[in-house]
Amino acid sequence: MSIPEVQNPVIIFDGVCNLCNDAVNFIINRDPSARFQFAPIQSSTAKKLLTTLELSSNNLDSIILVEHSECYIKSTAALRICKKLGALWPLLYIFILVPRPIRDYFYDIVAKNRYGWFGKREKCMVPNTKIESRFLN
């Protein structure tokens, strides 16, 4: 599917999910080049991208990576993100060799239980001034 080319990779995440917010902070702390930008699924930017991608934000239990003109979801998105982080995190990309249905099976277990296991916020996180330019509204 054709989507508009994005300058930097954009990570669409659930802005009220504690696990998702912790994952975003984890990525920010390991992305010294500030390659990634972020859009909470509740934002207008994410909604526009999702419409273009023909994905519904309803019942979407996945992190989404929009990179160049491609879209990646679930375990593939997570592994592609790890590949671009500092330190040893790119080594996790070896798991891309595991068939996607198997990877996504385990991803789905965590995704379906994320609110129960990690909690949920009333509203999306508000980034501090140091990183707010990396967040798309």
pLDDT in tens, 7-26: 789 999 988 888 998 999 99
pTM score: 0.85
Give the residue from 20, 10, 25, 21 showing the smallest Cα distance to 136: 10
Where the chain has pLDDT below 70, the residues are 1-6, 56-59, 123-126, 128
Predicted local confidence at residue 56, as pLDDT: 67
Predicted local confidence at residue 5, as pLDDT: 55
- What is the C-alpha R_g of the chain? 14
Domains in the chain: boundaries? 10-126
Q: Is 56 exposed, middle or buried (0-12, 13-18, 19+ CB in 10 A)?
A: exposed
Rounded CA-CA distance 11/136 in Å is: 10
The count of C-alpha atoms lying within 13 angstroms of the C-alpha of 32, restricted to the half-sphere facing its C-beta, is 2
Predicted local confidence at residue 59, as pLDDT: 54
State the helix-helix crossing angle for 100-118 and 74-83, rounded to 10 degrees. 90
Predicted local confidence at residue 44, as pLDDT: 86
Residue where the block lists tokens 């979407």:
60
Which amino acid is located at 65 in the chain?
A: L
SS3 call for 46: helix
Give the residue from 13, 16, 12 showing the smallest Cα distance to 115: 16
Predicted local confidence at residue 1, as pLDDT: 42
Rounded CA-CA distance 137/129 in Å is: 14
